[in-house]
Structures are given as C-alpha cells and as structure tokens.
Structure 1
Amino acid sequence: MNKQLRVLFIGTYVPKECGIATFTSDLLNSVLGENNDVHCEVIVLSDPSETYNYPEEVVFQIRRDRIEDYYSAADYINQSGADIVCLQHEFGLFGGDAGDYIFALLSGINKPVITTMHTVIREPDPEYRASTEKLIRYSEKLVVMSQSAVNMLKEVYKAPEDKIELIFHGVPDYPFNNCSKYKKMLNLKGAPLILTFGLLSQNKGIESVLEALPGVVSQYPDLIYLVLGATHPMVKKINGESYRHYLENKVSELGLENNVVFHDKFVEKEELCNYILASDIYASPYLSREQIVSGALTYAMGMGKAIVSTPYWYAQEMLSENRGLLVDFGDTDGFKKSLLYLIENPEECNGMRKKAYDFGRKMTWKNVGKEYNTVFDKALKNYNTHPGIQNRFNFLPIQLPEIKLDHLKLLTDDVGIIQHTNFGIPARRYGYSTDDVGRALVALTQLIDSQKKAEEFRRLITTYMSFLEHAQTDTGHFHNFMSYKREFLDEKGSEDTLGRAIYGLGHVVSCPYLSKNIRTLANTLISKSRQEIKNLGSPRAKAYTMCGLYEMLRAGVDADEFESVFNSRRDTVKSIDSLVDKDNFESIFITHADSLVDLYEANHKEDWNWFEPTVTYSNAKLSESLLLAYNYTKDRTYRKIGLATLDFLTEIQWRGDFFDLVGNHGWYSYNGKIPLFDQQPIEAGYLTQAYISAYEIAHERKYLELAKYSFEYFLGRNRLRTVMYDYSTGGVFDGLGSDGMNCNQGAESVICFLMALSSLNKHTNEPIIVAFQPKVSDGGLQKKKSLLSINQEE
C-alpha cells in the first residue's frame, strides 16, 4: 500500500474574507478531490484583532506580527509528520520587512516547500528583491499562475528554470450559459448588467468605469453597473470607507444613481459564482500594471464572460487571442467604446465569451488539483534524493575556542566589573554588580591550574575580592549595585546576590594555587555571612550558596563536624528542624539541599519534573546543586532528583539539533507554552556546567554530548543560527530576541561563557561519539513524560 501523502498548507484561510483565504481553501479541496491518498492540514496567518471559527483542518495559528509564532510553527511542522509544505506567498501576509518573518519558519523546517507566488515584482525595491531571492532559495518548487511570472522569475531573479511550475489559478467548472436564469434567481436587473467584484480598494480603478458610463447610459438607460464586494479589511482599518464614499460621490456627480449599485458585502463562493453567471460583461479596471494574477479575472474567464480590462500583466496574457478587450489605464473613452462594442455586436461578443470559456477549461480546480499533486510528487522525490537541509549547523567549529580574557579585562577597572556595554564598549553609567563579581571569581578560579596561572590572574582576583569585601554589609549580606561614582545604590542586594557572592567566595577558598591571604579573606567573608545564608528562602539563592559551600567543604572546612551531623540526619526520624540550630556550613548545606527536595516533591507531577510550577531563570543551577549534594553526601535522593530535573530541562529545551532556552518573555508555566524569546546565554552556560556535573557523577555519555551541544549555543547552535561569541575579543553577545541578537556584550554573558568553557575543557580529551538522541521537545504544544521518572532505578 502507498503511504498517505500529508500536505500542510500555509496561508490565510476561510472563513477569513480574503482572496488568498478562498484560494487556499479551494486548492486544498482540489488536491483532496483528485487524490484519495492525501491528508491536508492548514497553518493560518491571523490578525490578533480578528477571531474566526476555523474548520477542523486548521491545526495551528500564526499571529502575523509575532515572530516567535513563526518559530513555533516551524517546530510544529517538523514534528507533524507532514511530507510537503505548500506555502501561499504574498508579501503582505507576513510580518517584518517585505514579509521576511516567514523566513524564521522556512529556515527552521526540514520539509520540501512548494511556494505559490501570488505576487512577482518586475522592478522590486531592495527589501522585496532580497525577500524574493530568499524565497527562491528556500523553495523546492515555485508555482506561478502566468507565463509573465515565469519570465520575471528567470530574468529578474535568475530563478532556476527547473524550480518553476506554471499552474493556472483555479476556477469552478460551470457549463457555458446565458445570463437570464441567474438574473432571475438573484432578482437582478440590468440590460446589460456589468459587474466588478472583489474586495474594494483604490487599486480597483472603479472610477475609470464610472466616468465612462454616462456616454453608454445615454444610449442604454437600462444598464446597471454592479460593484460587488466589501472594502478590503486592511484598507478599512487604515482609511475607513473613504474610497467607497469617493465612488458614491462620483456616482452622484455623474447622475448615475439609477445605474450604479454598490453591494457592500463579502459573498461566499457559491453566491459569487451566481453573480458572475448573471452578468453580461465583467469590467477589470485595475490601475497597477504589476498585477501578476487576478482571481476575479480568472473566474470571469472560466465562466465565459465578456471582459473589458486594463492591460495589467495578467490581463494582457489571459485576454490575448481575442479572449477579451484591453483598455489603457485611465482611458475613459476607451472603456466607453469597448462597452458599446460588446453591447452592439452580440455575435462578436458571444465568440469572445466562448474563447474565454474554452481557455478556462484548463483552469478548472479539478485540473489544478491534478497538477499540484504531480508537483508534490516530483518535489518529494527530488527532496528525498537531494535533501534541502542536511545539517543546519555544519558551520560549527570542530575544536573549542581558546580561553580569551580580553573582554573580561576590558570590563574590569580598579573597582570591579562594569555591568553592561554599548556595542562592546563599557557603559560606565550602569556601574558595577556583586552578581557579576561573584561569578567572575568562579570563572577565574576554574581556569587556574598552576601557580603561574594564579599569578597571571592575581590582579583580577584581588580587585574582585576587594569589591566583595567592600560590598559586604554589617549583617554579612552584600550590596549588589554600585554606581560609577562608587556609591552603593541599595541597602542590600537580593538573596540571589548573596548566593552568587558565596558561590564565588567558595571557589576562592578551595583554590590551592591562590595565596593564603586571599583564601583567608574569602573564608572570613563567608563566615560573616553564616546567619544570612542559613535563613535563605529563594531556591536559586540556596542553589548558588550550595555550589559555593560545596567547594568550601570539599577543601576541608568544617569537615570535622560533618560526620556527626550527617549520621544524625540519617539515623533519626526527627525533621530537619533538628539541624537548624547548628551553625556549621555542613548543616546549612544539607538543610538547603533538603529544602530543594521538599520543593520538588511539592511541585512535580508525572509530566512536570521541576521544583516550581514555573521554569524561570538560572534553572540548571538548581539541578547542579543537588548533584553536588549527592557527590558530597552520597544520598541517592539528591542524585535522582538532580538528574530527573536536569533531564526535564533537556526535554523542554532540546529541539533535536539545538537548544531553545526558555525565554524570559513570560517564562514557562505548567500547562503553558514555552516563550521563545528573550533567550539569555547564562542559561546555556549553566546547562553546560550541570551536564558536566551529571557526566562526572552518572558516567553517562549523553551528558557529555549535551554539554557540548549546550556550549555550542554560544557558537551558533541556536534557533537563529547566530554566533554569539566574538573570537577576536572574547566578548559574548547578551541574548537572542525576536528581532535578532542583542549586540551588547555585558559582563554576565562573558562570565557564563568562561565558566562553561572551563567546565567542558576538563573533558576535551574524551571523544564524543554522537550516539545520544534526546527526546525532541514540542515547545509546549503538548505535554510529554520526562526522560527520567523519579522512581526509576539507577
């Protein structure tokens, strides 16, 4: 049995009142009607101000001006099982310059794309040329509806000829009829009845016909000119009904009140066809020559109407060989003469109608459906033979970058680290932050592997230690923000600030290559903070503190008290309250670890292995802190929860070949959707550190592979395929937003990069064989079970 072909259409869709919406619906039905082995679904472009009750084939909606929706749609397509994507392209359908938001979708999918081009511009502005050229590159096939469009693609855009397919705009298949039956059905008068239909906009040129009518009406007073259609929604939104009012005023000025009827309504397809069949003459007075297709003209031809049109490109081609009459743009006298000719020469008019009707048999939706199915088959075979996207990240370097501290040194003066930059230049007005200084100590101490390296970093570390000594308050907490004038801007920082300071100080205490004076000062500052860190409430502050205390305890501080505390905890049924009164660092370390366990137990569900009902910031640091707690205590509860939550972060952020970090534009709540932006590089750095800890504890190769992938986020393995690391300076760009990369290079970004790089460097001699295939997240579209159940045995 042949596998069912799955086609996913992208465009506007009924019941939206829009020509492309109708076209997409008709095309889908024609494809289905000609092939029983096809399954069709639709992704629609929508306007937030509009709400529609879409039919069941609509499976996803893209808000036109929300670029994150285009990225989410790409994820949906990749997981949907679709074989072919059929895109309806018109620049105005999509957000961005010249509709370039669509490339956020096209660049991220691994399916062949068949693009129906509803507009091709002969003399494009630069942004439209660039957009069209990108569209050509991303499309396996380009479907256009006229030979003029074929020629333009080849001549203006140098599109490969084998990519281009000419398939006419579809039309319903009606028999060749006279008009009287349908006039009676609709209770229409008019001898003759002239029709112009479609969404009303100034480009319609209806005033050209109105100005021609007095000379025709004088001879045929029963003539009716019916203008059928509501005002285009976008026109109405911007200009209201000004064009309609202009036309109505012109009717009054010309004395045509008895001969012109405005039917202000969007009619459904069946009713529209009845109006066309009832008319004697179809008028198409468009003002723009660059009209490469017209559904209205196509319908009029396919139903055998006598046609008078301006010579836009589509009309010139379709009405050649005496299938209609052409009148120059704005030629009022030409319209008058053409209308009179058709009225007064019924035999010639009927012959013209028959030629148009016969040509229209090629364009029936039945034939169009057959031709699209043929193109789908050709494109799919060609794509499977020569896939369009093999490896989206084949530009990544083979080796890790060398350690480069130029940018960190640039940000550091004799006080501390300037927090932010403008385009890589230190922005002094933002001052300094304890958060950055604490983590910078972590990054530097991880890089010290000899006395020589310690001496090289001595000035930086001394400056940072001096800053923390000055920032510590009388209670042992820390100020966070200091202005460039060396004035602290807060009474004390957040609990996270305290945790980050302890994180850095703990690494200083444990670094054997640093001087005794520096290590003693670090120990003194931590000891002064003992009561503050003991009473922390913030989970992340606890995690940071645990990471710092782990290094301190590993270095032997308070080790003599640990055994009794830990045995007491294991062997009694008392709650952890029994440890609260103990001030030693081991008890604080264990108390915080147990509180994270409690937090996990209170919030995790079958499909939500996390500490809180929302995934926010510094996420992997929570998992890592429990892994370190296991490494120190060998309590397997910490190990299980640490790995389970880290695997959960993998599940929700890994896309099969890159990480989509949870954005801070709303965070990710249970039963919600993952916000794609703004993504912060610190999350990639922390993930790398946590994966390395998991690899060292669990000895599973997948964690080393994931550490490499998460680190490569900085090097371009991200949604935008944007390199965030500046190889020339060692700077790191500050994040990924919906409008691209943040071009500033602040302290936090370069510090977390150095922390991740030093963690990964410890295992550079261990070959990474890509055997791990992590579960691909659905980006919040549906819930899935975690990679590791908390009850799973090791």
Structure 2
Amino acid sequence: MTIRRVLLLGNHTPRQCGIATFTADLADALLTVHPELEVFIAAMDDGHHYAYPERVALTIPQHDPDAYIHAAQAINDLNVDVVCVQHEFGIYGGSAGSYLLTLLRALEAPIITTLHTVLETYSPEQRAVIEELAALSERLVVMSTRALDFLTAQGIPAGKVDFIHHGMPRLAFDRDVEKANLGLAGHEVILTFGLLSPNKGLETAIRALPGVVPGHPHLTYLILGATHPHLREREGEAYREGLVELAASLGVAAHVRFENRFATLDELGRYIAAADIYLTPYLNREQITSGTLAYALGNGKAVVSTPYWHAEELLADGRGVLVPFRDAVTLGQELRDLLDKPARRAELEARARAYGEGMTWPAIGAQYLQVFAETGRAVILTQPQPALPEVTLRHVAALSDGTGVFQHATFTLPNPHEGYTTDDNARALTLAAACPDDPHAPLLARRALTFLHGALGPDGHFRNFMSYDRHWLEARGAENAQARAVRALVTAARTLTDPGLRGAARELLIHAWPAIQSLESPRAQALALMALAEQHHHAGPHAERDELAHRYAANLRRLHAEHATPGWLWFEPYLSYSNAKLPHGLLAYGRVYGRPGDVALALDALRWLEGVQTGPHGSFWPVGNERVYRRGEARPLWDGQPIEVYATVAADLEAYAATGDESWLDLARRAVNWLLGVNPLRQPLLNPESGGCRDGLHRDRVNMNEGAESTLALWQSVADLRAVQATPSAGTLTGD
C-alpha cells in the first residue's frame, strides 16, 4: 500500500521533552526518505503555549476527556493512511494515560504505536492501558529487544511487535574545534545532557569527581540541559542549586559546568563532538529507552553508564562501560581509567560508531515507512464472514432433566451442584417458542414452563435459584429474574404452538404481573419495558401496566440525562453486563408507545455502545466482565461472555424494526460472528459437535464449559436474526 498521509500523535517541539524531540525527528526523517509524504502532528497540550510549526494540525488538552473525542473526529477528517502514536503513560490524561484510548477507539485509520516505556511488571491501571493499546494497534514498535521480550512474556504476540532503534542524527563536528568554541581547549570533557531531574543520578557523578580530578586537573564535567519543566513548576531551580552546592562542598565546583538550557540539534551536536566521555548515571533500572544514549553512542562516543535496561543492551559486546547504580567510587575508577588510557577510549568509540550506522534518522524513517506500508496492506485483508449456523436445541436438551434446565456445565456435562435458575428456564422457554420446528422444542418448552410455574410464589413473585434436590434457595429472586420471567411468559403466551402450553403461559402471566411492579434496577426496568411494550403491542392498552411503562421509561430518561456527556452517551457512569438492554428497553417502549424522542435517545445510546464494542478492523469486541468499565478508564477486554452478544443482537434488531436501517442488521451479524470465531483469539465459542456454546473468552483461552446462559444466548441470537432475515418487514420485539 502506498502511504501518502501520516499523522504522528504525541508531543512536539518546541515543547521541551524527549517525546517532543523524538516526534519532531521522526517527522523529519519520514520526509527525508519520502519527500512527497504529508506528515501531520497532533500534539498534546499540557496547558502551556508553544509556537508550533505549521505541521502541527491540532492540539489536544491533556486532561479534558471530551477533547479526545473531538480530536478523533478531526484526525478522521484528515483522511490519513496511518496514525503513529508516541506512547508514554504520563503525557496523556486519565488513570495511566487512559484518555488516549478514547481517541484511538474512534479512529478510522490503522494505528502503529511506538512504546517509549515498557515495563517488566505494570500496575493494574498500566496493564489495562497497555492491553487495550496493543489490541487497538495494528503494530507496536519498541526500541530494545528487552522490551520485545517483556511484551511477549505479557501475552502480546511477537509477530505484532517491531524492533526499531531510537534514531539519532549523524553529527560531523571536530572535537578540538568544538572544545575551543566552548572555551574548553585543552580540557578533558565528560558530558551528560538532557532535562535535569533527580532520577538522572547527577549526584553520583559529582561525588565521583574527587577521585578523578587529582590526576586530571583540566577535567570539566559538562551538564547540559534545562531543568525538567514539571520539576521547575513545582520547585523552581532548587534541584539544580542543590547540585551546585554539592559540587562546592566536595571541592570540585571549578570542574562542574552547568548549561541551563534546552539545546538545539546543532548545538547538541557541537557539545557531543567536544566530549571525550559521555556519562548517563541514571538511577532507575527500568528505563527501556534513552534518546540521549542513542545520540551519543551512535555518534561514536565512549560511554559510561549505569546498567539501566537500554544501556545494558546498547553497550553490550564492549561498546561501553557499565557501573553499578549509586556507586560513586566505581564510577570514578572507570572514568579515571578511560581518561588515563586514550587507546581504550578510542576502541570504545570505534565500536560505538560502527554500531550506530544503522541508527541514523534516515535509516529509522525508512524502517517506519516499511511498517506503515505493511500495516496498510494487512488491514485490507479482512477475515471472511463465517456461515450462520442452523439452530439446534440438542445441547439445551442435554442440559435439562425432569426439573428444568441446569444452570452450569463442566465442559459439556450438566453440573448438578449448581442446580437450576428461573433466569435460564425463562430463556429456554423463549428459545423453545422461537424454534417450534426443532424436535427438542416441545419438551423443552413444557419443562421450562413447569419450572416457572413452580418458581412463581403466591405473592406473584418468582424464586430464582433451586438446588439439585429441588429446594428453593431464596424466598424471592433478584429483580432481573422477575422481569426476565415475565418477559418470557409474555412471549410464550402469544407464540407457543401447543394450545395447552400457550394457555398455561397466559394463566401464569395473569398471576405474575406483580413481579415487575416495584423494580429499581435499571436493567430490570429495561427488561420489564420489553415485556410491557410487547403486551401493549399485541393486547392493547392497559391503564395500570401502561402507567408502569411510563414510569420506568421516565427513570431511564432521567438516568441518561444525569450521566450522559458528549463522550459518554450512557445511562450510568459505567458499563458492566448486558449493557445493550438499557437502550433496548427504552427503544421498545418508544416504538410501541409512539414516543419518537425516546426512540432517538435510545438509538443514540445504542450507536455509542456499538462504538465502544468495536475492536480492530471494525469487529465486535464486547466489554469484558473482568471489572466494570468507568468513563476514562482502559476498557476491560477479557472474560467477554455470550450474553453480551445476545443483548446486543436483540437491541440491534429492535433498532432495525424502529428504523428500517439495514446497518443495524449488519451490527447484529457482527456480534454473532464474535461467537463464530471473529474475535481476538480467532477461536469459535460455538461447539458444532455438541451444539453448545462455550462460556467466555479469556485473554489466553476459551472457557470450555458450555453452560445454559451461553448456549441459550447463542441460539436465541441466531434464531432472532434468521427470523428477521426471513421476514424483514416484520416488527420485532425481541430480548430477554
């Protein structure tokens, strides 16, 4: 694929930080290799004003979550071929920089992410961000092989990760000339450059000088760089002043020179040229990338460093000298030895220069362009759509006995220890009613209806959990079970083909209406709205039930008004389970009761949810059940369950019935495809041999148990989708 337009997302000069410099250098390198390329920059806004160059097309306020939504649309409007993200946790807003993910989810172009920080272990918040970032990105780029090893150990496929060195400019300045220009002719120069902050270990370097200066009286330790802007905001120049005081107290103040500024590339080249030794005495082992180290090594400097991760890799095989962290004595010995032995220093310089040949920015730019082109070609190759299976109830029948449908299974075997539930028997009744031609449907309907009969108490409420020995485990089931049972009876009373069972369902329904009179759970209210809307649609008005429907719909509207924002069009401040039920209930109500405002609100919410549930290449990826998902966090990716598919399919089909827009049918089919293997593991949850559906998708495997909820969710989704495809003009009031 020919790449014509690229957007780089991160920081950009004149902002003073390593990411800003890297982004600017990468943009220049891409244009050096491909002058016809259009390169745009989306720069993060940290609240300061910068005089950006023209190629910075937009800025994104770091701590404004809605700004990330607007930025995604602006980037899509640029119609770029690739978005290349520069990732560092601290430059994006939200917990561990999670606001970035809001933007990336909404992008249309493929994403390549350069990881500037890769850790061996992450905090839970960081791990969640990295997992979703990896899922959203077509490729990840790292700048060390250790980073690649870390990522693969964390479960990211090695084939998704590219190793590309940190680029460096090729500098051509004479050492003696630049020493003279700096007023250091005849001096031996040790250089450290970069933004000053306490983690750079400069105290250790200064403490090493008393062991070096006596034998090298013309030594100058040159510390080049402004104080880190964030540190300067908090403390002013207190840190730098403390270093000056330390040098004075050790009697080496005359040998330490501070250059308190952010050097241009040309200036930096002159300082590097003047150096005899480049020193990085950093304190943090977990530094996977150092641009300053790459610059110095690639330009043939003798390097002494502490053994942080990037230094261990770049300075291996005799390309530099490593000293222990915070060890001023050993550091002084190594510096003294290199200054005493010019031949040893020259040998290090030669090895460093040879290694740096492949690290020049034009070479790095060419490698990035190759990754961009390969990514574009890969995105074009889409996974074929699997065939929609024929519905079979044989595994549901296998999960049943004379009492009803067992709740859980161990692989394909019913698990009697977990007993039965009204929830699953209500689902089974609905599915049996939808599949009258299946040979298992009549007996399944009879058993499920009998179970609901026994679950319905004299107070008009249902019990939910029953043990294998037929003892009820509670006096009254949860609200969802109440609403789901009534919903199933409404459907069965109208659609069961056996007149005796249909009559029994009607009789039970008469006594079951109290079960949904006082619901407080929004999901239970949404389920009740589906039941009330279907009953109103087919049986006509009923004052008491219609008033109940109006009350529940008003509550969903209230919740939406309370919690929805431009970037979070939802009824709650989080997403958890069976999320699509909320807009589905309001949509069914609005369609049947003639409330276009409710229809529009529900469609907007459902469309937003479908966006959240979109993975790479536009595939369905439900919100995982590992935890609830709150606005601004990384999205839970794993432990996705088939019930999320069914909730989505049912809502999409209701949206199609309300609008006639066939894109809703496409979204419903997309959700079913997740169960058929179009998912991150590319493994189907449908077991064609048993006719069951596996219980979920973990990060490393499919849950092989084939319980009732999962199997019923699969086949109800397929049955409803087939029914609408067979009679597309028919109104559907689906859902459990």
CA shift in 2, pair 1:505/1:326, >3 Å: closer
Match of 1:238 in 2: none
Give the whole-Å Cα distance in 2 for the aligned partners of 1:100 and 1:629.
Answer: 37
Alignment partner of 1:87 is 2:86:
no
* Shift, 1:649, TM fit: 0.6
Amino acid at match of 1:5: R
Match of 1:144 in 2: 165
Match of 2:474 in 1: 490
Give the whole-Å Cα distance in 1 for the aligned partners of 2:43 and 2:712.
Answer: 41
Give the whole-Å Cα distance in 2 for the aligned partners of 1:143 and 1:123.
Answer: 11
* Shift, 1:282, TM fit: 0.6
For residues 460-479 of structure 1, the aligned pairs below 5 Å read 460-479=444-463
Give the whole-Å Cα distance in 2 for the aligned partners of 1:707 and 1:508.
Answer: 24
For residues 578-657 of structure 1, the aligned pairs below 5 Å read 579-580=543-544, 588=545, 590-595=546-551, 598=554, 612=571, 618=578, 620-621=580-581, 637-638=594-595, 641-642=598-599, 645-646=602-603, 648-654=605-611, 655=614, 657=618
Match of 2:423 in 1: 435
Give the whole-Å Cα distance in 1 for the aligned partners of 2:154 and 2:339.
Answer: 39
Amino acid at match of 1:281: D
Match of 1:509 in 2: 493
Q: Report the secondary structure of 2:114's partner residue.
A: strand
Structure 1 residues 314-362: Cα deviation after superposition (integer angstroms, max 9, x where no partner): 558997xxxxx989999999875542233xx9xx99x999999999998
CA shift in 2, pair 1:53/1:521, >3 Å: farther
CA shift in 2, pair 1:405/1:548, >3 Å: farther
Give the whole-Å Cα distance in 2 for the aligned partners of 1:264 and 1:462.
Answer: 89
Give the whole-Å Cα distance in 2 for the aligned partners of 1:63 and 1:269.
Answer: 23
* Shift, 1:442, TM fit: 0.9
- 2:718 corresponds to which of 746, 757, 763: 757
* Shift, 1:119, TM fit: 1.0
Would you say the 8 A contact 1:691–1:707 is kept in 2?
Answer: yes
Q: Please list every run of 5 or more consecutive structure 2 residues that lacks an aligned counterpart in the other structure.
A: 51-57, 62-67, 69-86, 229-245, 325-329, 730-736
| Aligned residue-pair number | 652
Give the whole-Å Cα distance in 2 for the aligned partners of 1:630 and 1:219.
Answer: 88
Give the whole-Å Cα distance in 2 for the aligned partners of 1:4 and 1:740.
Answer: 39
- For the aligned residues, what is the CA RMSD? 6.3
Alignment partner of 1:687 is 2:648:
yes
* Shift, 1:529, TM fit: 2.5
- 2:505 corresponds to which of 522, 533, 538: 522
Q: Percent identity?
A: 22
Q: Report the secondary structure of 1:270's partner residue.
A: coil
* Shift, 1:24, TM fit: 4.3
Alignment partner of 1:118 is 2:168:
no
Match of 1:341 in 2: 341
TM-score, normalised to structure 2, is: 0.65
For residues 143-182 of structure 1, the aligned pairs below 5 Å read 143-144=164-165, 169-170=168-169, 176=175, 177-179=177-179, 182=182
Match of 1:575 in 2: none
CA shift in 2, pair 1:719/1:128, >3 Å: closer
Query: In terms of mean alpha carbon deviation, does 21-30 or 462-471 score higher?
Result: 21-30
Structure 1 residues 44-83: Cα deviation after superposition (integer angstroms, max 9, x where no partner): 8x9xxxx99797756767759979778645424x34x68x
CA shift in 2, pair 1:711/1:66, >3 Å: farther
Would you say the 8 A contact 2:650–2:720 is kept in 1?
Answer: yes
Give the whole-Å Cα distance in 2 for the aligned partners of 1:545 and 1:306.
Answer: 74
CA shift in 2, pair 1:183/1:681, >3 Å: farther
Q: Which has the higher contact order (CA 8 A, sep 6+)?
A: 2
* Shift, 1:652, TM fit: 3.5
Structure 1 residues 568-612: Cα deviation after superposition (integer angstroms, max 9, x where no partner): xxxxxxxxxxx33xxxxxxx2x33444455457665799799894
Alignment partner of 1:544 is 2:527:
yes
Give the whole-Å Cα distance in 2 for the aligned partners of 1:93 and 1:22.
Answer: 25
For residues 187-586 of structure 1, the aligned pairs below 5 Å read 192-195=188-191, 219-220=215-216, 223=219, 258=251, 269-270=262-263, 273=268, 276=271, 281-282=276-277, 295-296=291-292, 299-300=295-296, 314=314, 338-342=338-342, 368=361, 387-394=377-384, 396-406=385-395, 408-409=396-397, 411-420=399-408, 430-449=418-437, 453-455=440-442, 458=443, 460-483=444-467, 486-514=470-498, 516=500, 518-534=501-517, 540-545=523-528, 547-548=530-531, 562=540, 579-580=543-544
Structure 1 residues 402-429: Cα deviation after superposition (integer angstroms, max 9, x where no partner): 42532x3454455444444566665656
- 2:105 corresponds to which of 71, 75, 82: 75
Amino acid at match of 1:445: A
TM-score, normalised to structure 1, is: 0.61
- 1:135 corresponds to which of 160, 173, 194: 160
Give the whole-Å Cα distance in 2 for the aligned partners of 1:609 and 1:303.
Answer: 49
CA shift in 2, pair 1:66/1:479, >3 Å: farther
Would you say the 8 A contact 2:208–2:331 is kept in 1?
Answer: no
Q: Report the secondary structure of 1:444's partner residue.
A: helix
Q: Report the secondary structure of 2:8's partner residue.
A: strand
Would you say the 8 A contact 2:493–2:506 is kept in 1?
Answer: yes
Would you say the 8 A contact 1:620–1:646 is kept in 2?
Answer: no
- 2:670 corresponds to which of 709, 732, 738: 709
Would you say the 8 A contact 2:191–2:221 is kept in 1?
Answer: yes
Amino acid at match of 1:135: K
- 1:727 corresponds to which of 659, 670, 688: 688
Give the whole-Å Cα distance in 1 for the aligned partners of 2:296 and 2:567.
Answer: 57
* Shift, 1:445, TM fit: 1.9
Query: In terms of mean alpha carbon deviation, does 491-500 or 717-726 score higher?
Result: 717-726
Match of 1:584 in 2: none
Would you say the 8 A contact 2:97–2:129 is kept in 1?
Answer: yes
CA shift in 2, pair 1:259/1:499, >3 Å: same
Structure 1 residues 21-56: Cα deviation after superposition (integer angstroms, max 9, x where no partner): 754455457668997974443688x9xxxx997977
CA shift in 2, pair 1:133/1:724, >3 Å: same
Q: Report the secondary structure of 1:41's partner residue.
A: strand
Give the whole-Å Cα distance in 2 for the aligned partners of 1:43 and 1:335.
Answer: 40
Would you say the 8 A contact 1:200–1:229 is kept in 2?
Answer: no
Would you say the 8 A contact 1:503–1:544 is kept in 2?
Answer: yes
Structure 1 residues 420-479: Cα deviation after superposition (integer angstroms, max 9, x where no partner): 4566665656544322222221122212237x5544xx1x44443343233222211112
Q: Report the secondary structure of 1:179's partner residue.
A: helix
Match of 1:7 in 2: 7
Q: Report the secondary structure of 1:473's partner residue.
A: coil
Give the whole-Å Cα distance in 2 for the aligned partners of 1:227 and 1:3.
Answer: 41
CA shift in 2, pair 1:274/1:101, >3 Å: same
Amino acid at match of 2:145: V
Give the whole-Å Cα distance in 2 for the aligned partners of 1:629 and 1:484.
Answer: 38
Structure 1 residues 748-783: Cα deviation after superposition (integer angstroms, max 9, x where no partner): 222222211211232566899xxxxxxxxxxxxxxx
Amino acid at match of 2:276: I
Match of 2:241 in 1: none
